[in-house]
Amino acid sequence: MRLTPKQAKTLLRLEAGESMARSALSRPLLRALQDGRAVRLEPSGSSYVVRGIPGRVAALAGREWGITDLAAFAALDPATRTRADLARVAGDTKALAAHPLDGIFLRLTDAANLGGHLLNPTPDGCAHFLAASEISLFSPPAALLIGVENAESFLKFERCSAHFPDLDIRHAALIWRWSWGGKWQQWLRGLSGTFAWFPDYDPAGLAIFSQQILSSRPDARLLIPKDLDRLLEHGNRELFLRQEHMLASLPAHGEVQAVADKIKRRRKALEQETLITG
């Protein structure tokens, strides 16, 4: 059997010499503890309780499951644990499911700090990856942070900048989120400075900005190309028609409605990758 963090928390209690009802332990776990002579049964009324033997429970966790730090293993957060964490506390990167690409990708025009370590500026087409467990350690070096919805536009944002002449990206950080997890939302709420979002110019893109970004950052800006009307002339009618039903649920937000009005008038939508070459 594999040990779960929840079971590890139970073992920590037993390691401290606590007792608990036999029903609190699964049969495989109780059998492993008894076979390893890490617990003893004590009478309690008409039944028995299981009492841990300090030192033996932790030793069994090491022998049976390779866990070198039972407390650290029990504290692993499913949302942020990494394969490196599992290697460190369990000697096995596959001891538990991990999600190594939960986090954000980051491009920098200036050096930044990550928990005391230097993050260098990133050349065109390159990015740093911050796992969810590292996001809170990142200190943005710039007053302007730009969130980008799609990967190619993130890596080639400079090619889109002509559409935003009022945007100074010489000292900015670009962010591409990999997931909408709680760590991302918490970090977004705590950011200082100006946060701007580069969306797809279609109903779904406006919905993402409204539901995922504004919910955490009501002061976030929506980047609107100066030539959006011209770009929409060559937009995608089928994309608009597939998503048209989403327009009715958009909030009465000035920038959101400004874009919504333009795409409704043209009855076309535009994905942001068009700005790379448009």
pLDDT tens digits, residue range 101-124? 677 899 998 888 898 889 999 988
125 with 216, same domain?
Answer: yes
Residue 106's nearest CA partner among 87, 121, 88 is: 121
Q: Is residue 125 part of a domain?
A: yes
- pLDDT at position 93 over 70: no
Q: Which pLDDT does position 86 carry in this prediction?
A: 73
Which residue among 40, 57, 90 closes a domain? Answer: 90
Task: Tell how far CA 191 is from the center of its chain.
Answer: 15
Residue 192 in this model has a pLDDT that exceeds 90: no
CATH number, domain at 200? 3.40.1360.10
Both tokens of 51, joined, read 């009492």
Query: Of 42, 68, 90, which residue is a domain's last?
Result: 90
Neighbours of 248 (CB within 10 A): 8
Q: Is 35 found in the same domain as 168?
A: no
Residue-averaged pLDDT of the chain: 88
Q: What is the DSSP string of 175-217?
A: EEES---HHHHHHHHH--SEEEEE--BSHHHHHHIIIIITTT-
Least confident of 12-16, 184-188, 240-244, 262-266: 184-188
Q: Verify that 69 and 109 share a domain, yes or no.
A: no
Domain that holds residue 24: 5-90
